[in-house]
Copies of this chain bind each other. A is one copy, B any other.
Amino acid sequence: MIERRKTRRINIGKVPIGDGAPISVQSMTKTDTRDVGATIAQIRRLAEAGCDIIRCAVPDDKAAGALRYICAESPLPVIADIHFSYKLALLSLESGVQGLRLNPGNLDKPEEIRSVALAALEKRVPIRIGVNAGSLSKGWRDKVHAGECTTPEAMVESAMGHIRLLEEHGFDLIKLALKASDILTTVEAYRLMSGRCDYPFHVGITEAGTSRSGIIKSSIGIGTLLLEGLGDTIRVSLTTDPSEEVYTGIRILQVLGLREAGPELISCPTCGRVEIDLMSLAERVERYLSTEKTPIKVAVMGCVVNGPGEAREADVGIAGGKNQGVVFRKGQIVRRVAEKDLFNALVQEIERIKMERGYLTRL
């Protein structure tokens, strides 16, 4: 079991973060925030995909104003992503956002920081401080360059500076992100920071690349940190449909046992022993399970001889051989069926298990 780092609790709207709360999955809309209809439609799709929290870019006043309508309609709590403008932060708070992403050190004047901190504190709206290795201040870049500190150290110290600017005003509803596109740098930065404060962590690998590479990079980076107990909310950044970000984030949590899995499919890599079309069978089963909510472990194995034993941990499974296959439960063969009937026999057995466990009446 993974032992999670002890942190304070914050709440983004109805979603608790830190202090043992379930690890939430975030994404960011890729629509123009000023287009309320398109943004709401995308948020709804992401909510259906299982997203817990959504972030929207706020490039100008019009976007900050649009957030009023977006927050009113959104099924998910909304975080405003602000770069340098305290006015946009204040406008977003007035619009009803439940979180801000803002680095106070990037604001121009101390009064600006103060006004944002006090307005957010009054509404109990947390602020995420996000330090990116790629956008360290010139001062920190110079220190790294001169060999006076490493990049992870510079990221942590830079974040500590931002934190102090908020704490000065009694503001402690803080969440931290330390992202780099390099996995080792990211992992090391979070490790260092875990010894420096108890604010919850927002974990991700920034600019993780196109879908294929991005999934690999995010899985390693986020997965490694989660295995060490670091991470209270996660975002997978991909240059693709944000549903993919949500799907990947949820799967990362599930494969680490950090989120109830719904159904899980295990299937063997086919090899020269396999006499059936295992790939399309496994894909068919995956499609079937994608609408299934029951936490059930399903195996699709190629080999009648070894398959049931190797997939002993599965609640139910099928293994195929020439012309004939088997259905098994916890490694024990319960039925032999013709190859063409394997899929239907599996579905039947799953329904039977759901009945036995009382899931069907609940559904």
Contact = CB atoms under 8 A, between A and B. Distances in A.
B31 A257 contact: no
Contact of A215 (B219, B227, B309, B311): B219
A102 to B, nearest CB: 14
Nearest to A283: B210
Given A209-B267, A251-B213, A269-B237, A274 B30 contact: yes
Contacts of A286: 210, 212-213
Contact of A227 (B135, B187, B264): B187
Q: Kindly report how many copies of this chain are found in the complex they form together.
A: 2
Nearest to A237: B269
A306 interface: yes
A313 B240 CA distance: 22
Contacts of A81: 271
A286 B237 CA distance: 17
A299 interface: yes
Contacts of A282: 210, 239
Interface string A200-214: 000000111110110
Nearest to A55: B271
A267 B207 contact: yes
Interface of A: 1-2, 28-34, 39, 56-59, 63, 81, 83, 132-135, 181-184, 187, 206-210, 212-213, 215-217, 219-221, 223-224, 227, 237-240, 242, 245, 247-248, 251-252, 255-257, 264-274, 278-279, 282-283, 286, 299-301, 306, 309-313
21 contacts: A30-B269, A30-B272, A39-B272, A59-B272, A134-B309, A183-B256, A184-B257, A206-B268, A206-B310, A207-B301, A207-B311, A210-B265, A212-B251, A215-B215, A219-B220, A220-B223, A238-B269, A239-B268, A239-B269, A240-B279, A242-B269
